[in-house]
Amino acid sequence: MKILSLLLALSFSATAFAADEHLVVPLWPNGAPGSEARKDEPEKLTPTGGVTNVHNPTLTVYLPPKDKATGAAVIIIPGGAHRFHTIASEGYNVGQWLAEHGIAGFVLKSRLARDDANPPGTPQPYTIEGHSLPDAQRALRLVRNRATEWGVNPDALGLMGFSAGGEVIALAAMRAEGGKADAPDPIDRLSARPDFQALIYPGGSAKIQPVKCAPPAFL
């Protein structure tokens, strides 16, 4: 038991360090819609080093050196079966690798439809389409809002997701939203359409409806 506790403490320390050395930006400073009352509730670490109990979604920022920056940017959503985020190997490590190769990386810690922080069967307050998807859309808008500050081309912003994160990205691409011109928050006036996507072994629990496209003009 003592060994397990020590391993958990070391895992938590490594995860915290990976996040603390980079800028962490909340998607909504006053709390995500529907989660305002829980935004200060601490996140929790699973026995495998995943992060769960997320109520205040954030982006961890990995910017490339200015002399290497290409202007391209990727928002990364880790996997974890919608129960936790495999935050180091499918998040922070990817963001760091992208930054080292001239691409800005933004690791999204979104709200989860399931939760390893509570006993199995505990009712969860979130859903994939009602909360994880809006978090991804807000992340796209937020990066575009701060594109000049972060040296990002707002027309070269994509999404990369692993497993459960891949499902969320597929939804974001298939249900891309334009800006909301009358939104009181200026961030929401920007587009939530990704310019490209990378689905890494995506899961299949979300029901993704096909999009009806018009036939090519030459037919």
Angle, to 10 degrees, between the axis of helix 164-174 and the axis of helix 133-145?
70
For 160-194, write each residue's pLDDT tens digit.
999 999 999 999 999 999 999 999 999 999 999 99
Question: What whole-number distance in Å separates Cα of residue 124 and Cα of residue 16?
Answer: 25
pLDDT score at 216:
39
For 129-168, write each residue's pLDDT tens digit.
999 999 999 999 999 999 999 999 999 999 999 999 999 9
pLDDT score at 101:
97
Q: Are 139 and 27 in contact (CB under 8 A)?
A: yes
Rounded mean pLDDT, 64-90:
96
Three-state secondary-structure class, residue 12 = helix
What is the DSSP secondary-structure string of 123-138? --S--IIIIIHHHHHH
For 7-35, write each residue's pLDDT tens digit.
333 333 334 334 458 999 999 999 999 99
pLDDT score at 203:
82
Q: Which helix (H) or strand (E) holds 80?
A: none
Across the beta sheet with 73-77, what order do the strands follow? 24-26, 58-62, 104-109, 73-77, 157-162, 197-200
pLDDT score at 208:
52
Asked if pLDDT for residue 6 goes beyond 60, the answer is no
pLDDT score at 125:
86
Instruction: Name the CA dihedral angle for 161, 166, 168, 169, rounded to a multiple of 10 degrees.
Output: 60
